[in-house]
């Protein structure tokens, strides 16, 4: 049966997630139930609109074609710069054999192209119109002030430090509740510049991955707003300003150059952090492997611990019991390191190792910037924009991490509560295997950081490749903190 206990449990998971936020509330007597109900309705409405209306669904599915064009365009540029490493595949294979994709040459350059393109679209007013439309919806339905709603909407397309630039003059007068909303939505979404990279990582194992990543960026925003307002209920007068921004580029060429420059800064940040993170994961697994305890025939590993920690939440989000630990591993990798690490590992996980439905749920759960590394990036960026509010930013750091993490898991629970056939294309029938059990036999796991086997899950374990603290830059940007 397509709809069963896993779907129903995901609805219960929405209450559990909200309850966790309430336990962290600064004022438990003021529960914003109207905001929570409104946010939940918005999440279901957006999901059903994007996947249930044929013409909109067709548009979402066509995004994959657009991404293929962007990948081909990026390849043209990188082939000219890097030569046979990218362009002459036959010559490259003759020299070094047939290695897998070279991360820094074949995937990360997409960030430069998307960063430049996004900046141009902002300068031309296209992204600005879309952002203002979402801001209007959030302001009307959730009662937020103009600047706050603009920042929430901008986070759908931009990074965690770029979106606040649009409301920089208002940061110094915002209430603590509004500041938490701004910070939490930054942690609950990803930047457009890295979204395309994640699509390339998952497109071989998850159909319509672009549609899913776009959807989660939209529906996780109201979730983050609701959870932030549960943790810090609004007790002060909010700003009623329209939140209009004077953020602009001087010309199309300025937008093009600034976006590309910001993109290269992001690339080096990601590459540097991946190297450092991989080394730390290797060390952690080596130390844990010394413990003379056997767990189902496997040595203790970081993946194993992370899986155990997040398995209960993923189970309540609708993941079957026998896949909850494996799913929890990815959420743990995303939280402790960065979503880049989680996406790399999820993309390397063989299709037989996890059901398509669970893979979809995990994709929603890890699609956000909520991790320890991002805390420093976000606080540093906001402190530059409003230095007088630095004590507030610091005091809100942990609530931001919790609300951002819970928001993406809440988004995954919304998807898990719906029949999985909703997310399949008309020409892509649902197979029983897509929503039931993973295969018993699973090929070798993703690139391993050590020879330590990860988490004891029903299918074969996943090893933790490099953690990469993501930097949140994206679309329109003039600086990257």
| C-alpha–C-alpha distance, residues 41 and 325, integer Å | 29
Residue 90 domain-assigned (yes or no):
yes
CA-based nearest residue to 140, from 223, 14, 42? 42
CA-based nearest residue to 265, from 276, 253, 257? 257
Q: Is it the case that residue 467 has pLDDT exceeding 50? A: no
DSSP of 391-417, one letter per residue?
HHHHHTHHHHHHHHHHHHHHHHHHHHT
Residue 441 domain-assigned (yes or no):
no
Low-confidence winner among 22-31, 33-42, 386-395, 442-451 (lowest mean pLDDT): 442-451
Q: How many helices (H) and strands (E) does the chain have?
A: 20, 2
List pLDDT tens digits, range 215-246. 998 999 999 999 999 999 987 765 555 545 55
Q: How far is CA 239 from CA 170, 354, 393, in A?
A: 8, 46, 19
| C-alpha–C-alpha distance, residues 418 and 472, integer Å | 30
Domain count, the chain: 1
| C-alpha–C-alpha distance, residues 3 and 420, integer Å | 8
Per-residue confidence (pLDDT) for residue 245, from 0 to 100 = 56
Residue 375 domain-assigned (yes or no):
yes
Residue 460 domain-assigned (yes or no):
no
Secondary element (H or E) of residue 299: strand 298-299
Higher pLDDT, 207 or 315: 315
| C-alpha–C-alpha distance, residues 133 and 378, integer Å | 25
The one-character DSSP state at 165 is G
| C-alpha–C-alpha distance, residues 329 and 344, integer Å | 13
- pLDDT bin (cut points 50, 70, 90) of residue 249 is confident
Give the three-class secondary structure for 298. strand
| C-alpha–C-alpha distance, residues 215 and 202, integer Å | 15
Per-residue confidence (pLDDT) for residue 455, from 0 to 100 = 38
> Would the CA dihedral through 305, 307, 310, 313 be positive or negative?
negative
Give the three-class secondary structure for 294. strand
Residue 447 domain-assigned (yes or no):
no
| C-alpha–C-alpha distance, residues 481 and 472, integer Å | 9
Q: Which residues form the domain of 385? A: 5-235+247-435
Largest CA distance in the chain: 69
- pLDDT bin (cut points 50, 70, 90) of residue 442 is very low
**Average pLDDT over every residue of 178-204:** 87
Residue 469 domain-assigned (yes or no):
no
| C-alpha–C-alpha distance, residues 362 and 283, integer Å | 26
Q: Is it the case that residue 103 has pLDDT exceeding 50? A: yes
Residue 456 domain-assigned (yes or no):
no
Please count the residues of the chain: 481
Residue 171 domain-assigned (yes or no):
yes
List pLDDT tens digits, range 331-355. 999 988 888 889 989 998 988 899 9
DSSP of 124-160, one letter per residue?
TTHHHHHHHHHHHHHHHHH---HHHHHHHHHTTTS-T
Residue 68, both tokens: 């293929």
Contact 227, 21 (CB under 8 A): yes
Per-residue confidence (pLDDT) for residue 320, from 0 to 100 = 95
């Amino acid at each position: 049966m397509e709809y069963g206990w896993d779907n129903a449990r995901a609805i219960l998971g929405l209450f559990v997630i909200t309850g966790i936020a309430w336990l962290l509330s600064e004022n438990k007597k003021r529960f914003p139930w109207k905001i929570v109900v409104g946010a939940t309705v918005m999440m279901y409405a957006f999901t059903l609109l994007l996947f249930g209306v044929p013409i909109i669904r067709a548009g979402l599915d066509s995004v994959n074609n657009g991404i293929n064009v962007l990948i081909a365009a990026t390849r043209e540029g990188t082939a000219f710069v890097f030569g046979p490493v990218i362009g002459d595949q036959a010559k490259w294979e003759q020299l070094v054999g047939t290695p897998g994709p070279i991360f820094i040459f074949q995937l990360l350059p997409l960030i430069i192209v998307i960063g430049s393109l996004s900046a141009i679209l902002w300068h031309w007013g296209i992204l600005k119109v879309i952002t203002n439309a979402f801001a209007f919806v959030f302001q009307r339905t959730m009662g937020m002030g103009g600047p706050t709603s603009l920042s929430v909407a901008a986070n759908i397309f931009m990074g965690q430090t770029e979106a606040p630039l649009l409301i920089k003059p208002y940061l110094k007068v915002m209430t603590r509740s509004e500041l938490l909303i701004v910070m939490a939505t930054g942690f609950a979404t990803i930047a457009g510049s890295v979204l395309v990279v994640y699509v390339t990582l998952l497109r071989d194992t998850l159909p319509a991955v672009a549609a899913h990543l776009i959807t989660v960026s939209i529906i996780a925003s109201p979730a983050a707003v609701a959870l932030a307002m549960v943790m810090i209920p609004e007790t002060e007068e909010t700003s009623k300003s329209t939140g209009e921004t004077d953020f602009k580029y001087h010309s199309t060429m300025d937008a093009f150059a600034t976006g590309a420059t910001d993109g290269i800064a992001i690339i080096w940040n990601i590459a540097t952090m991946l190297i450092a993170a991989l080394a730390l994961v290797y060390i952690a697994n080596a130390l844990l492997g010394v413990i003379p305890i056997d767990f189902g025939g496997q040595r203790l590993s970081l993946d194993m611990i992370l899986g155990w920690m997040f398995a209960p939440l993923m189970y309540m989000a609708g993941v079957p019991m026998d896949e909850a630990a494996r799913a929890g591993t990815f959420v743990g990798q995303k939280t402790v390191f960065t979503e880049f690490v989680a996406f790399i590992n999820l993309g390397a996980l063989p299709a037989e190792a996890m059901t398509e439905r669970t893979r979809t749920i995990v994709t929603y759960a890890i699609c956000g910037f909520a991790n320890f590394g991002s805390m420093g990036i976000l606080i540093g960026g906001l402190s530059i924009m409003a230095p007088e509010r630095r004590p507030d930013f610091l005091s809100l750091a942990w609530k931001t991490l919790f609300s951002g993490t819970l928001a993406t898991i809440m988004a995954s629970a919304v998807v898990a509560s719906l029949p999985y056939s909703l997310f399949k294309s008309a020409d892509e029938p649902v197979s029983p295997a897509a929503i039931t059990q993973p295969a018993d036999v699973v090929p070798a796991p993703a690139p391993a950081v050590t020879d330590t086997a990860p988490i004891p899950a029903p299918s074969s374990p996943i090893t933790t490749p490099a953690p990469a603290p993501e930097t949140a830059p994206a679309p329109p940007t003039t600086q990257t903190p």
